[in-house]
Amino acid sequence: MGFEIKGLSEKIGDKDILKDINISLVPGEIVGLIGRNGVGKTTLFRSIAGQYIPDTGDILIDDQWIKEDLTLKEKLFYLDTQNNFFDSYTIDKIADFYELAYQTFDREKYNNWVIEYDLPRQTKYRQFSKGMQGLFNIVLAFSTGAPYVILDEPLDGLDVIVRKQVFQIIIDAVSEDQRGVLISSHNLEELDRLIDRAIVLKGSHIVSDYRLEDTRSEARKVQLVFKSKEIPTFVKENSRAISIQGRVVVVLFEHYSAELEAQIQAEDPALFEELPLTLEDLFRASISAKESTEGEK
C-alpha cells in the first residue's frame, strides 16, 4: 500500500524540467520536497494532479497505475493555490464541490474545524487574508478523506498562530488517520519540525533522499580548522561542505564513524567541534557543488 512516482520526466521544449523522478510515500509519513525556486516542485505536483501530462513515467496508488484507473485520483488531494478556480465562492460552497468529488468527504469534521478556527462561512475565499486562506486549504485537504495529500508551500504567509494550527491538523491527520503527506516549503526551520523524510531536487532531478531520524543517528556536522591550508583528502572524499570561510570548514559526514574521527584527530586540528545538524544543513550540503570541499589552497 502506498503512493509511488516512477520514472517521471517532463520537458518544455528541449529543457528538462523533471528527469527520472522516483518518490514513494506511505500512509503515516510526511515527506518534504525541497529545492531552490524554479527547480520543478510545482511542475511535479501539477503532473501528479494530472494538470500536466509527463513525457515519461507514471504514478501508482496502492500498486495500481493511475493511467489505467482514473478513479484512483480520488485518493489524492492537491489544491493549486496559484490557479484557484473557486476563489469567487464561499468556503461552504467550495466544500460542497469537494464533497461531490470525494466520497470520503467528512462533513462533520469539516464543520467542526470551521467552528473551531472561526472561519466565516459566507465569506468568499478571495476575501480571506493569506493566512486564513492557508488555514482553510488545510481544513479542506484533510476533510476530503484522501489518504495522500500534496501540499505546495502551505506555510507561506502564515503567522505564528495560524502556522501552529496548520501543524496540529497535519500531525493529527497523519498520526490518527494514517494519511501520507508530500509537502514543499522554503521555510526549512519549520519543515524540520514536521517531516520524516527530506527529498532534495536540484537541476531537474533528485539528488538526496534523507530519512531524518536515520540521518541524524549516522551523520555528523563538524566544524574544523586544520593547521595546513590544505583540507585532508579523506575529508574531501567522505563529506559534503556546508560552508568554507578561510580555513574554517563546516562539513557534513553522512556516515560518520570512529575510524573517521580517529583520522581527523590524527591531523591534530586546531579546531574540532560537532554542531547540531539541521534540515537547512542537509539542503545546503546537497546542492553544494562537488568542488565545495576543495577549499582554498
Q: What is the pLDDT of residues 223-242, one digit of tens each?
A: 999 998 899 999 999 999 99
Domain limits for position 69: 3-213
φ and ψ of 31, to 5 deg: -115, 130
Whether 50 is covered by a domain: the verdict is yes
Question: CA nearest 73: which of 40, 109, 47?
Answer: 47
Give mean pLDDT, residues 208-230: 94
Integer angstrom CA distances of residue 161 from 28, 74, 114, 166, 183: 25, 31, 16, 9, 20
- pLDDT for 79 equals 85
Q: In terms of domains, do 201 and 60 share one?
A: yes
Query: Cell 521544449 appears where?
Result: 13
Q: Is residue 286 part of a domain?
A: no
Same domain, 163 and 23: yes
pLDDT at 10 over 60: yes
93-to-88, 134, 162, 262 alpha-carbon distances in Å: 10, 17, 23, 65
Alpha-carbon torsion angle 84, 86, 90, 94, nearest 10: -110
pLDDT, tens digit (0-9, with 9 covering 90-100), for 159-195: 899 999 999 999 999 999 999 999 999 999 999 999 9
127 & 266 share domain: no
Tell me how crowded residue 289 is: count the other CB atoms within 10 A of its CB. Answer: 8
Question: Does 248 fall in a domain?
Answer: yes
Q: What's the pLDDT score for residue 80?
A: 84
How many alpha carbons lie under 13 Å from residue 254 in its C-beta half-sphere? Answer: 15
Residues 44 and 183 in one domain: yes
Among 231, 205, 225, 199, smallest CA distance to 296 is for: 231
Report the number of distinct structural domains present in the chain: 2
Q: How far is it, in rounded angstroms, from Cα 40 to Cα 59?
A: 17
What the block records as the C-alpha cell of 115 is: 467552528
Dihedral of alpha carbons 234, 272, 285, 166, sign? positive
- For the ranges 50-54, 144-148, 152-156, 288-292, the lowest mean pLDDT is seen at 288-292
For residue 24, the model assigns a pLDDT of 95
Residues 105 and 250 in one domain: no
pLDDT of residue 117: 94
Residues 144 and 245 both lie in one domain = no
Helices (H) and strands (E) in the chain, counts: 10, 14
Q: Cα–Cα distance between 164 and 235 in angstroms, integer? A: 40
What is the C-alpha to C-alpha distance for residues 32 and 185, in angstroms, rounded to an integer?
A: 8
User: Of 213, 229, 244, which marks where a domain is finished?
Assistant: 213
Residues 234 and 271 placed together within one structural domain of the fold = yes
Residues 235 and 260 in one domain: yes
| Whole-angstrom distance, CA of residue 287 vs CA of residue 35 | 8
145 and 236 part of one domain: no
Shared domain check, 150 and 113? yes
Is residue 284 situated within a structural domain?
no
Q: Which residues face 124 on adjacent strands?
A: 90
293 pLDDT higher than 50: no
Query: Which residue spans within 143-288 are E strands per DSSP?
Result: 148-152, 180-184, 197-202, 205-211, 220-225, 240-245, 248-253, 271-275
Q: Assess whether 188 and 234 both reside in one domain.
A: no
